[in-house]
Amino acid sequence: MTAPAVTVVEVGPRDGLQNEPAPVTVDDRVRLVEDLAAAGLARIEVGSFVSPRWVPQMAGTADVLTRVPPRPGLTRAVLVPNETGLAAALQAGADEIAVFAAASETFSRKNTNGSIAEVLARFEPVAAGARAAGVPLRGYVSCVLGCPYEGAVPVAAVVHVAERLVALGCREVSLGDTIGVGTPGAARAMTAAVVAAIGASRVALHFHDTYGQALANVYACLDLGITVVDSAVAGLGGCPYAKGASGNLATEDLVTMLEGLGLETGVDLDAVIRAGDRISQILGRPTGSKTARARLGR
């Protein structure tokens, strides 16, 4: 009998590196993506087409895409904020387009310069363009378990944004605990409500690890039918708006837990640890993965 499977979406090259104080070279970003692909991670967010003025760490994403050519079994996803970003992403040959909205009005206005309604309206031509090009669309919802400005976020607000993203044409909606304040009970209740609204097959989890709860939060939601989870090699990233943010859920730790539960990931853990160790050395700090630290120290 084949073991149940969970797809790990690797977001380190984008969501991880975009929060680094200094940009990582295109050469090193290409090497990171190639290392992750060789480790069996089939869905990798390689960068974003936001303005380099606002996110200089993501300058050169088109070059990264060009130098990591398309291949069977590999999805190279990019984040875009608008039609200009979409055009650049399509020209560079992206395999998947991602758009991002928030469940908090204040966060939406501060982070994307528009209300929730305005941001979603901004994505309508992006969705139409992706559809016309035959490129799948993914949606992110930020602040699903808390906002740095508003505090608690109503579950109904999360459900509303998730439903709107699906209506726009997103085949999948990734639920982001942007500041990492969620706990298992809250994570499960919020995820269950979104699953009831749009179906488990459309839901992915994206939990940051600010308070060390990300793995527990994922575990609390798995039996809701969740089969897609985002993570970042070496625990890269973390929201700059979250005080004391320690990073994303580490891919190495997620894979260790999932495989310990008998769930197939298709990921070579040792290869991911090596990739995380390499990028951590480039960044000049230890890996943020507890699994990697334990295995490397053995």
Which residue carries 């044409």 as its tokens?
169
Query: What SS3 state is found at 120?
Result: helix
Q: What is the DSSP letter of 58?
A: G
239 among known catalytic residues: yes
**Of residues 143, 170, 221, 239, which has the active-site annotation?**
239
Please answer whether residues 58 and 92 qualify as being in contact, where contact means their C-beta atoms are separated by less than 8 angstroms: no
298/281 Cα distance (integer angstroms): 18
Task: Quote helix, strand, coil % in the chain, to nearest 5.
Answer: 50, 15, 35
CB 251 within 8 A of CB 271: no
Helix (H) or strand (E) holding 117: helix 116-133
Distance CA 246, CA 206 (A): 15
Neighbour count for residue 246 (Cβ, 10 Å):
16
Is residue 100 within 8 Å of residue 133, measured between CB atoms? no
Q: Are strands 203-207 and 172-177 parallel, antiparallel or unpaired?
A: parallel
Name the residues annotated as catalytic: 239
